[in-house]
Amino acid sequence: MLKIIFISTAVFCAFGFQPIPKPKNQLERGKLIYNSNCLVCHMENGAGVPRMTSSLIKSPYVLGTKKKLVEIVLLGSDAFVNEPNRNYKNLMAPLDNLTDQEVADVLTYIRKNFGNNAIGFAAVEVKQVRAKL
Ligand code: HEC
C-alpha cells in the first residue's frame, strides 16, 4: 500500500507540476497577452470606453502602418503627441516591458480580431521599430 502511495506521489510530482506550456499558435498567445496587458482598458471586445479609451474595432491605427502600431505599444500615449483631436481622458502607459515576440503576438491578435482583418507581425519587425525609438 505504502509503495503504491509512494509511486503515485512520485509520478504526480514528476508530471503534475509541469508549468502550463505556452500555446504554439500565435493568435492564442496574443490573446493571453491581450487579456493580461490590454483588456483592462480596451475591454474584452476591443471597444474601449467612450471618451476614456479608444476603440480597436476597425481602428485606422490597428489597420494602418506596422511602424505606428508598434510605437503605440512601446510609447503609449506619447505616440500621439503630434496628432490632433485625441480627446481620451485615460492615458496609455508605455508597454515596452513586452518582448519583441510578445508585441508581435498581441498586435497580430488585435489585427485579426474585433472585426479587423490585417496582415500579422513577426518579432523581427517589432525589433526594427524598437531599435529606432
Ligand atoms: C491604461 C490603459 C491602457 C492599456 C493597459 C492599454 N491601452 Fe491602448 N490606449 C489607451 C488609451 C487611453 C488610448 C488613446 C491614447 C491617446 O489618444 O492618447 C489607447 C490607444 C491605443 C491604440 C490606438 C487606437 C486608436 O484608434 O485610437 C492602440 C492600437 C492601442 N491602444 C493598443 C493597445 C494594446 C495592444 C495594448 C496592450 C498591449 C494596450 N493598448 C494597452 C489605454 C490603454
Distance CA 21, CA 116 (A): 28
Q: How far is CA 68 from the centre of its chain?
A: 15
The whole model's pTM is what?
Answer: 0.88
* Most informative mutation of 42, 68, 91, 101 for ligand 1 (most atoms within 8 A of CB): 42
Residue 31 Cα to ligand 1 midpoint, Å, equals 15
Q: Specify if 6 maps to a domain.
A: no
pLDDT in tens, the chain (133 residues): 556 555 555 555 566 667 777 888 999 999 999 999 999 999 999 999 999 999 999 999 999 999 999 999 999 999 999 898 888 999 999 999 999 999 999 999 999 999 999 999 999 999 999 999 9
11 within domain boundaries: no
Q: Tell me if 111 is assigned to some domain.
A: yes
Ligand 1 atom closest to Cα of 87? 17
The total number of structural domains in the chain stands at 1
Nearest to 78 by CA among 100, 60, 93: 93
- Measured distance CA(113)–CA(96) in Å, rounded: 22
Does 29 reside within a domain? yes
Does some domain include residue 17?
no
Q: Is residue 13 part of a domain?
A: no
Give a yes or no: residue 2 inside a domain.
no
Domain boundaries, position 95: 23-131
Whichever domain contains 101, its CATH number is 1.10.760.10
Ligand 1 pocket, mutate which of 33, 36, 54, 77 (most atoms under 8 A from CB): 54
Could you report the per-residue pLDDT of 2-27, keeping only the tens digit for each?
565 555 555 555 666 677 778 889 99
With respect to residue 10, please indicate whether it lies within any of the assigned structural domains.
no
